[in-house]
Amino acid sequence: MIKAKPQQALSFYDSVQAYFDKAAVHTGLDQGLLDQIKVCNAVYRMKFPVKINGGVQVIEAYRVQHSHHRSPTKGGIRYSKHVNQEEVMALATLMTFKCAIVDVPFGGAKGGVAITPWDYNEEQLEKITRRYTAELIKRNFIGPSIDVPAPDYGTGEREMAWIYDTYRTFNGEEIDAAGCVTGKPVTQQGIRGRKEATGRGVYYGIREAVNSAEDMKKVGLEPGLEGKTMVIQGLGNVGSFAGKISQDEGGAKIIGIGEVEGAIYKPDGIDIHDLIRFRKETGSILNYPGATNFSKADRGKVIEFECDILVPAALENEITVNNVDKVKAKIIAEAANGPITSEAANILVNKGVLILPDLYLNAGGVTVSYFEWLKNLSHMRFGRMEKRFNQNIMAEMVNVIEEKTGKKITDIQKQTLVRGADEIDLVRSGLEETMISAYHQIRDIMVRNPSIKDLRTAAFVNAINKISSDYLNLGIFP
């Protein structure tokens, strides 16, 4: 018997373009305007030398600005050996629509450096990061009013601090220099809550979706996140925070985890905090007590685990036409960018699977990056002006209640009632409001238009309409 060859899956960029085209027909907009919204406005491909281990290594890197309908452009920087121009263009394109969906006033952008970060030590990574930043500065591809990078796969607070410091070296007189990059350490003009932001946004989006009794009935589930089984592919920053918050605040039951070294399955539940400690001690999630192991060669089986909610939080094109029939989840929450090809997504939608799309669900990162950018431009920590005032007002109110009712409130209750909001409280509140509002905007579009069958198409329609308004109302598109 001759085995059928696996079908060639669409590339990440082709999938994004297909999603756009599918949504565009529902907007009624002029084709020329749609073409302008669809294309990448500026693509900068660079190669630069860096001294590594006594020799010279040529590094390939990119920065793509997809849309200038709003300024500055905004998007993370990815360090991965798989980085190429098409991937960065796809990510930049998604960023444009992502920003529009959550009403963040940026155009979309993305950066990538084609290296495997763990192949380099800290000093070498710093050299590469600073040289990449210098290249962006020379070409006017970075600045608080031009283009504002952020962390992505393979980068974090450390790299953003290096970018900020390099930018300040070149632009020492610029008072708003801190706004040139977000995702910085709090000690370097960052904002509390940025590190957890994407994962927390994933949690808020999942929670809002599963609270809809009508939508849960369609997938055969009861409303609410409590007790629902969850499988997470990818235990990086996004996956780990999404898992921890879903478990701690939502009561989700995590039964499967996939990582680069393999996958584990434990139907009676995995304490994700304990698993993260275990991996830190042993260097692997494998052999976690009570769990079934799947080797590195079989790590892809994590998407086949039976569960209520599958959270792909790794890289793009993980679910394709070649494995989509093995997916058993009732809800797929796209914490990663582009984890499902457009062909596979169509199959899943036709099967009745609820997909929470990436351009909505992982927008928590850019939302809190927006808050950080505002903080940098205002030169003031959130909560500084109002925290004590609100605390004093609430204390007076508690005193009046005690006086009028004759009942004493305990010290612990009083501390809870009168506490003023810190920066982290305001960031989380703003993120929660953003994710809830954006979800209902998208869902309402789908409900009002019977020809739209999925949330992704509704999200693209929402984003395209908002961007077109900028072009038409602001006279950008003559």
Residue 76 belongs to domain with CATH number: 3.40.50.10860
Using the predicted structure, report yes or no on whether residue 442 has a pLDDT greater than 50. Answer: yes
Pairwise CA distance, residues 386 & 390, whole Å: 6
Whole-number mean pLDDT of the chain? 93
Answer for the pair 310, 333: CB distance below 8 angstroms, yes or no: yes
Is residue 442 domain-resident?
A: yes
Residue 269 tokens, joined = 């539940």
> Per-residue pLDDT tens for 48-57?
999 999 899 9
Residue 377 tokens, joined = 């431009």
439 and 351 co-located in one domain: no
Is residue 177 domain-resident?
A: yes
Using the predicted structure, report yes or no on whether residue 444 has a pLDDT greater than 60. Answer: yes
**Closest C-alpha to 115, from 157, 149, 83:** 83
User: Which residue range forms the structural domain that includes residue 438?
Assistant: 384-446+455-473
pLDDT for 9 equals 64
Peptide bond into 267 cis (omega under 30): no
Pairwise CA distance, residues 422 & 381, whole Å: 9
Pairwise CA distance, residues 302 & 287, whole Å: 15
pLDDT for 478 equals 54
Degrees (nearest 5) of the Cα angle 435, 437, 442? 95
Is residue 441 domain-resident?
A: yes
pLDDT for 141 equals 96
Using the predicted structure, report yes or no on whether residue 472 has a pLDDT greater than 90. Answer: no
Interval 131-142 mean pLDDT: 96
How does DSSP assign 358-395, residue by residue?
HHHHTTHHHHHHHHHHHHHHHTS-TTTTTHHHHHHHHH
Is residue 28 domain-resident?
A: no
Three-state DSSP class for residue 418? helix
Is residue 425 domain-resident?
A: yes
344 and 408 co-located in one domain: no
Answer for the pair 74, 366: CB distance below 8 angstroms, yes or no: yes
204 and 180 co-located in one domain: no
Answer for the pair 113, 79: CB distance below 8 angstroms, yes or no: yes
- Alpha carbon of 292 to those of 255, 268, 301, 459: distances in Å? 10, 11, 12, 38
350 and 201 co-located in one domain: yes
> Per-residue pLDDT tens for 150-208?
999 999 999 999 999 999 999 989 999 999 999 999 999 999 999 999 999 999 999 99
> Per-residue pLDDT tens for 304-358?
999 999 999 988 889 999 999 999 999 999 999 999 999 999 999 999 999 999 9
- Identify the burial level of 140 via C-beta atoms within 10 angstroms of its C-beta, where 0-12 means exposed, 13-18 middle and 19 or more buried: exposed
**Closest C-alpha to 145, from 102, 183, 178, 173:** 178
pLDDT for 2 equals 45
Question: Is 74 considered catalytic here?
Answer: no
Binning pLDDT at 50, 70 and 90, where does residue 1 land? very low
H or E element, residue 107: strand 107-113
Question: Which residues, at least 6 apart from 260, have a Cβ–Cβ distance to it below 8 Å?
Answer: 296, 299
Pairwise CA distance, residues 346 & 87, whole Å: 21
Question: Which residues, at least 6 apart from 297, have a Cβ–Cβ distance to it below 8 Å?
Answer: none
pLDDT for 421 equals 84
Query: Could you tell me the CATH number of the domain that includes residue 350?
Result: 3.40.50.720
Residue 16 tokens, joined = 């994004």
Residue 56 tokens, joined = 């010279």
401 and 351 co-located in one domain: no
Residue from 110, 195, 228, 375 carrying the catalytic annotation: 110
> Per-residue pLDDT tens for 62-98?
999 999 999 999 999 999 999 999 999 999 999 999 9
H or E element, residue 202: helix 197-210
Using the predicted structure, report yes or no on whether residue 466 has a pLDDT greater than 90. Answer: yes
Interval 245-256 mean pLDDT: 97
**Closest C-alpha to 260, from 313, 302, 296:** 296
Residue 250 tokens, joined = 């939502």
Phi, psi of 223 (to 5 degrees): -65, 155
Structural domain tally of the chain? 3
Answer for the pair 338, 312: CB distance below 8 angstroms, yes or no: no
Which of these three, 168, 188, 208, is where a domain ends? 188
pLDDT for 72 equals 97
Answer for the pair 63, 136: CB distance below 8 angstroms, yes or no: yes
Residue with tokens 């369609």: 218
Core vs surface per residue 330-346: b (16+ CB within 10 A) or e: bbbbbbbbbbbbbbbbb
Using the predicted structure, report yes or no on whether residue 423 has a pLDDT greater than 80. Answer: yes
168 and 294 co-located in one domain: no
Using the predicted structure, report yes or no on whether residue 231 has a pLDDT greater than 70. Answer: yes
Bridge partners (DSSP) listed for residue 229: 253
390 and 345 co-located in one domain: no
Using the predicted structure, report yes or no on whether residue 475 has a pLDDT greater than 80. Answer: no
Degrees (nearest 5) of the Cα angle 41, 365, 35? 25
Is residue 6 domain-resident?
A: no
Degrees (nearest 5) of the Cα angle 169, 194, 171? 15
pLDDT for 329 equals 97
For β-strands 253-259 and 73-79, DSSP reports them as: unpaired
174 and 302 co-located in one domain: no
Largest CA distance in the chain: 86
Pairwise CA distance, residues 339 & 318, whole Å: 5
pLDDT for 418 equals 81
327 and 283 co-located in one domain: yes
Is residue 314 domain-resident?
A: yes
Residue with tokens 């808020």: 204
Residue 124 tokens, joined = 């070498």
Q: What is the DSSP secondary structure assignment for residue 330, as one 8-state letter?
A: S
Pairwise CA distance, residues 202 & 246, whole Å: 9
Interval 394-417 mean pLDDT: 84
Phi, psi of 63 (to 5 degrees): -145, 125
Interval 283-310 mean pLDDT: 95
Interval 233-241 mean pLDDT: 95
236 and 280 co-located in one domain: yes
328 and 417 co-located in one domain: no
In the chain, % of residues over pLDDT 90:
85
Using the predicted structure, report yes or no on whether residue 8 has a pLDDT greater than 90. Answer: no
Q: What is the DSSP secondary structure assignment for residue 143, as one 8-state letter?
A: B
248 and 317 co-located in one domain: yes
Question: Which residues, at least 6 apart from 130, have a Cβ–Cβ distance to it below 8 Å?
Answer: 162, 163, 165, 166
Q: What is the DSSP secondary structure assignment for residue 417, as one 8-state letter?
A: H
pLDDT for 228 equals 97
Bridge partners (DSSP) listed for residue 356: 333
Answer for the pair 450, 26: CB distance below 8 angstroms, yes or no: no
Which of these three, 169, 188, 207, is where a domain ends? 188
In the chain, % of residues over pLDDT 70:
97
Is residue 226 domain-resident?
A: yes
Which of these three, 170, 188, 206, is where a domain ends? 188
For residues 9 and 41, the model is more confident at 41
